[in-house]
Amino acid sequence: MTSLLLGAALLGNLGISVTAQVMLPRPSQVRFHSVDYKNILNWTPPTTNSSLQYNVQWKIYGEPEWIDVPGCQKIRKHHCDLSDVTSEPREWYYARVGAVSVANSIKSAWALSPRFSPRWDTKISPPVLRLNVTEQPAIVVRVKSPRELVRKLHSNLYYKIYLTHPSGEEEVFDMKCCSHKLTLKDLNHREEYCLQAQIVLPLQGKHSARSSLKCITTL
């Protein structure tokens, strides 16, 4: 330390300025949060300073080039939607965030996210059930899934329909995506049946939680 101080003093005596490079702390906890292929990058700011801006870049795993995320340059919020640039389910991606002080333009180092796969890391929301009864008696089941999920994975997606009888017995039916409806027949008149639905992605070995229980009384 003494040698460094003497060296700095000597350079000062010679008229040579010594400037220390100052950097902001980098953002932390940079992570993707993905539900139904809506891929949001979140991070924690490095300080409580409200005058910071952030720049976000992304790249495909194995590629050397980092690319600016449109709409996420010089932003003040602590999240960025990367759904458009991370739209290929089979790819693996990285993202990184850098902070910049508006007051003096001091920058932080880049903060890197863990590797992210839309296919494996996205969480699947439960579907929505719509029920109607007919005179047979029968229950007509319609299922609505998140649109983006259906668009990307309709060939690798089906539904499990759980029917609970008045006795408490549970029966399970498979329903193709994207069938218009499933009709459950041979039911008893004027009795209450309860149903739930679940999205299943067999190739990924993933499934959603069951939808909320919905009950209906036959005619």
* pLDDT (tens digit per residue) in 97-150: 999 999 899 999 999 999 999 989 999 999 999 999 999 899 999 999 887 777
Residue 89 near residue 37 (C-beta atoms within 8 A) = yes
Greatest Cα pair distance, the chain, in angstroms, is 101
Q: What structural domains does the chain harbor? A: 28-121 (2.60.40.10), 128-218 (2.60.40.10)
Residue 21 pLDDT: 62
User: pTM (2 decimals)?
Assistant: 0.79
Residue 5 pLDDT: 41
Residue 153 pLDDT: 74
102: tokens are 């508006």
169: tokens are 């017995």
Cα angle 65, 96, 118 (rounded to 5 degrees) comes to: 85
Residue 16 pLDDT: 43
Residue 11 pLDDT: 41
Residue 177 near residue 157 (C-beta atoms within 8 A) = yes
Residues of the chain where predicted confidence (pLDDT) is lower than 50 = 1-19
**Which has the closest alpha carbon to 198: 121, 152, 141?**
141
Calpha distance 104→122 (Å, rounded): 38
Task: Tell me the residue ranges of DSSP E strands in 62-169.
Answer: 67-68, 79-81, 93-101, 111-112, 128-134, 138-144, 158-164
